[in-house]
Amino acid sequence: MQEFKRLLKERPKGSVFVDVRTPEEYAHSHIEGIINIPVTEISEHLEELGKYDAIYVHCRAGGRAGRACIALVDQYNLQNVYKVDGGIDTWVEEGLPTI
């Protein structure tokens, strides 16, 4: 989680941070600056996501982020896709801010 926190702070050029939870979960609580693309809609955003050099994916605990990463790499042939270990549950447990 510390590496993810560092990356969010630095915002490397060409990177995007994606929360793949449902819109309702995202509206309830999310990390500032992270876009919401539900895992069930990831295929609808391939053109947009393909423009980034690095895609960091997270969810609540890691399951949906893992599925999204596998789909992006194996099915849609995108590269430089990274699953954030833990997810928002870990973020909150560590006392980090959400909006």
Residue 87: inside a domain, yes or no?
A: yes
Structural domain boundaries enclosing 12: 2-93
In whole angstroms, what is the distance from residue 5 CA to residue 1 CA? 6
Categorise residue 95: left if φ over 0, alpha if ψ from -120 to 50, beta otherwise: left
Is 59 catalytic? The answer is: yes
Per-residue pLDDT band for 42 (boundaries 50, 70, 90) equals: very high
Total count of domains within the chain: 1
Residue length of the chain: 99
Nearest to 68 by CA among 79, 80, 81: 81
Of the candidates 37, 59, 68, 81, the residue annotated as catalytic is: 59
Q: Is 72 exposed, middle or buried (0-12, 13-18, 19+ CB in 10 A)?
A: buried
> Max CA-CA distance within the chain?
36
Q: What is the DSSP string of 56-76?
A: EEE-SSSHHHHHHHHIIIIIT
Read off the CATH number of the domain in which 40 is found. Answer: 3.40.250.10
Write out the two tokens for 90: 């870990």
> What is the chain's mean pLDDT, rounded?
95
Residue 98: inside a domain, yes or no?
A: no
Looking at residue 2, its pLDDT comes to 87
Convert the pLDDT of each residue in 24-34 to its tens digit: 999 999 999 99
Residue 99: inside a domain, yes or no?
A: no
